[in-house]
Amino acid sequence: AAPAPKAQGPASIDKRVHLATSSERAESEFRKATALLNQGRVAEAIDGFKSTQQQDAAHAPARQALVGLLLENRRMDEAQQVLQEGLSLNPGRSAYAMLLARIQVERGDLQGAHEILSKHAGSAAGDADYYAFDAALLQRLGRHKEAVASYQSALKLAPRAGLWWMGMGISLQADKRNPEALDAFRQAKSAGGLSPDLLAFVDQRVKLLQ
């Protein structure tokens, strides 16, 4: 009779150790950091999200979480650096540009904020909030013609935004375009969504311009 086949011993088992890739290590760090955050251990969570980024700089959820925590804890310089790194890796992340611009606004640098938004405007096509944010900056800088153009871009995408119609009305009036300003204020009123104070302001402008 043919001999029975020998049982395979431990020596024949594939002993190759699986070496985790950097993206797998990053995902593991991210899960740990998220768990720490859920436990309220914010400082350790920040370190964990930073570690995730070191393993995989393209890990977007870790970068978003890290930026959020840094901003909440008023660590503006660090948040700015993380956002700038994110934009250098992916210039199309218009949300990063908006957050960077908001940091500049907090520092009182309206011109710097506008320059950031202008630099990344190509990636923000179709983002009404992006246009409206830039419009508000331009208005505060006294650049009313440009503000009107940015408000128009925003309102093409979100025509029922009463606040933006009001903003455009303010810049139109400042630019001595009173008939257009009157129309914008009326649109603001009909669009709705304004607080009682803003509605009273719009009513006052309408009466003044009629």
What's the 3-state SS for 81-112?
HHHHHHHHHCCCCHHHHHHHHHHHHHCCCHHH
Q: How many Å apart are CA 148 and CA 29, to the nearest integer?
A: 46
133-168 pLDDT tens trace: 999 999 999 999 999 999 999 999 999 999 999 999
Q: How many Å apart are CA 32 and CA 36, to the nearest integer?
A: 6
Q: In this structure, which amino acid lies at residue 207? A: K
Contact 135, 152 (CB under 8 A): no
69-126 pLDDT tens trace: 999 999 999 999 999 999 989 888 899 999 999 999 999 999 999 999 999 988 888 8
How much is the CA Rg of the chain, to the nearest whole Å?
Answer: 27
Q: How many Å apart are CA 174 and CA 142, to the nearest integer?
A: 9
Q: Which two tokens stand for residue 95?
A: 């949300």
Contact 141, 110 (CB under 8 A): yes
Contact 25, 57 (CB under 8 A): no
∠ CA 55-16-22, nearest 5°, is 5
pTM of the model as a whole: 0.79
The residues near 151 (Cβ < 8 Å, ≥ 6 apart) are 131, 132, 135, 164, 165, 167, 168, 171
Contact 207, 186 (CB under 8 A): no
20-34 pLDDT tens trace: 688 888 888 899 989
